[in-house]
């Protein structure tokens, strides 16, 4: 990585929520670090200059859920393709779940993934280790060894722990060593095998349902275990109004809990399944407009800490099938910026019921959810342009429009419910540790 060069990003509008900066300021980078914001440091001479006139200069995005499909699912995607997608999407740090094949439950596998990612010289990859061996929910993994290998937390991906006693032991252990447990709240039995949100639409389409109580029952259990153990838990991809209300109350109570939502769930509802569109087959399933509106408001009031792409590339053989047989998932790394900006635009236009328009500038709030807030959740030092911080930067054009087409995506996964949509916001340059890793021609 040639990060010894000095880089001057000039004329851009700098938004750094971690430091409360939202103004036109220059950025100065040397030896892979931010060395000054605003005025040049004494004796600074730029090897490269990037003119960001008309652009937003922000910290590189931090994505809390991106499946890279390695090891084991290279026919769906490869590290090369997905890290290139991250670069095109301005994502410089990403968290990957442990549901690879083999599962990330041994230090050697984690070290191999970290090494492979590092040699590609693109986004920083932060794996989650499996909470239980093989994600089977029976025996706990060697969390200390996995942490040493580079895991930043422990998760079950889409496999709920059936035995509450196992989850209790896992959380006790995690608390002892100050690890974070990442859980997607879903009951092990209710809604299992369901493929759409329970409700009138699923009934009309004849699709088996996943009721909201699958999420809320799991949350009640998790919160009881948190009260008992004091463990820190991050809730992945919340999907319901009722679930978010429980999270809101848990935060008020002082439980050490954070949560995220997937970008698709911020904009879409179960009605977007339309005529059995398998691109809208997602996990968790898209829910009602009431749930969608609650998610949007939760992002605004801080109940929801972060927005993630929930990037899950799926190949044609597993997606071009009847809705119930298609694999759930959608590509998202390259859509994260545009979908975040759309939320900010809707907020600015007053389309959020209960929104306090004077509370903050919508764009800064939105960027915070994919930079500083996401980094805080994951315990990372990224997501900021503080002097001395690693120079991970995204330069984007907030006005540029693009059409979501398979040919426009670097990801090997070409399936998304937003195919054909015109979206606003396009990455012009992605800088990782001071070197320009991607620049749009």
**Catalytic amino acids?**
310
Short-list 402, 385, 387, CA closest to 440? 402
User: Cis peptide before 188, with omega less than 30 degrees from 0?
Assistant: no
C-alpha to C-alpha distance for 274 and 319, rounded to whole angstroms? 16
DSSP structure class, residue 202: H
Residue identified by tokens 């006005």 is 399
C-alpha to C-alpha distance for 406 and 88, rounded to whole angstroms? 14
SS3 label, residue 295: helix
Give the pairing type, strands 209-210 and 196-197.
parallel
DSSP assignment of 149-168 equals HT---EE-TT---S-HHHHH
Short-list 214, 194, 67, 61, CA closest to 128? 67
Short-list 352, 368, 344, CA closest to 425? 344
Two structure tokens written together for 274: 């339309």
**C-beta of residue 143 within 8 angstroms of C-beta of residue 174:** yes
Whole-angstrom CA distances from 430 to 38, 394, 437 are 20, 5, 6
The number of angstroms, rounded, from the C-alpha of 253 to the middle of its chain's C-alpha atoms is 26
242 burial level (CB within 10 Å; 0-12, 13-18, 19+): middle
C-alpha to C-alpha distance for 152 and 159, rounded to whole angstroms? 19
**C-beta of residue 212 within 8 angstroms of C-beta of residue 187:** no
Q: 125 has which bridge partners? A: 94
Two structure tokens written together for 90: 């301005």
Nearest-10 Cα torsion for 137, 142, 145, 148: 40
CA angle 117, 319, 65 (to 5 degrees): 35
């Amino acid at each position: 990585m040639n990060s010894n060069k000095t880089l001057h990003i000039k004329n851009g509008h700098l938004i750094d929520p971690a430091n409360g900066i939202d103004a036109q300021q220059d950025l100065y980078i040397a030896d892979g670090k931010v060395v000054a914001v605003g005025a040049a440091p004494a004796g600074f001479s730029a090897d490269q200059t990037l003119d960001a006139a008309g652009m937003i200069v922000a910290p590189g995005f931090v994505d809390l859920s991106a499946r890279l499909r390695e090891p084991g699912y290279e026919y769906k995607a490869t590290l090369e393709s997905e890290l290139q997608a991250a670069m095109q999407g301005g994502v410089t740090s990403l968290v990957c779940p442990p549901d690879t094949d083999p599962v990330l439950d041994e230090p050697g596998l984690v070290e191999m993934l970290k090494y492979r990612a590092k040699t590609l010289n693109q986004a920083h990859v932060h794996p989650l280790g499996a909470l239980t061996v093989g994600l089977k929910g029976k025996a706990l993994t060697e969390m200390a060894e996995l942490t040493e290998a580079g895991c930043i937390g422990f998760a079950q991906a889409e496999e709920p722990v059936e035995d509450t006693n196992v989850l209790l032991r896992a959380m006790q252990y995690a608390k002892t060593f100050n690890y974070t447990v990442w859980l997607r709240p879903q009951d092990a039995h209710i809604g299992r095998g369901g493929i759409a949100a329970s409700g009138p639409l699923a009934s009309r389409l004849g699709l088996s349902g996943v009721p909201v109580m699958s999420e809320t029952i799991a949350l009640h259990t998790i919160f009881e275990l948190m009260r008992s153990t004091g463990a820190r838990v991050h809730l992945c991809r919340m999907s319901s109004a009722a679930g978010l209300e429980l999270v809101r109350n848990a935060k008020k109570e002082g439980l050490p809990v954070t949560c995220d939502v997937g970008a698709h769930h911020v904009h879409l509802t179960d009605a977007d399944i339309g005529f059995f569109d398998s691109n809208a087959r997602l996990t968790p399933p898209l829910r009602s407009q009431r749930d969608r509106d609650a998610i949007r408001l939760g992002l605004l009031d801080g109940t929801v800490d972060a927005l993630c792409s929930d990037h899950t590339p799926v190949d044609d053989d597993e997606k071009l099938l009847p809705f119930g047989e298609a694999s759930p998932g959608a590509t998202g790394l390259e859509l994260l910026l545009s979908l975040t900006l759309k939320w900010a635009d809707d907020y600015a236009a007053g389309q959020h019921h209960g929104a306090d328009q004077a509370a903050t500038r919508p764009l800064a709030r939105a960027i915070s959810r994919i930079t500083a807030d996401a980094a805080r959740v994951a315990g990372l030092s990224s997501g900021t342009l503080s002097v001395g911080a690693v120079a991970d930067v995204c330069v984007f054009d907030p006005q540029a429009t693009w059409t979501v087409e398979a040919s426009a995506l670097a990801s090997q996964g070409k399936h998304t419910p937003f195919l054909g949509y015109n979206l606003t916001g396009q990455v012009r340059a992605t800088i990782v540790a001071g070197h320009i890793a991607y620049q749009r021609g």
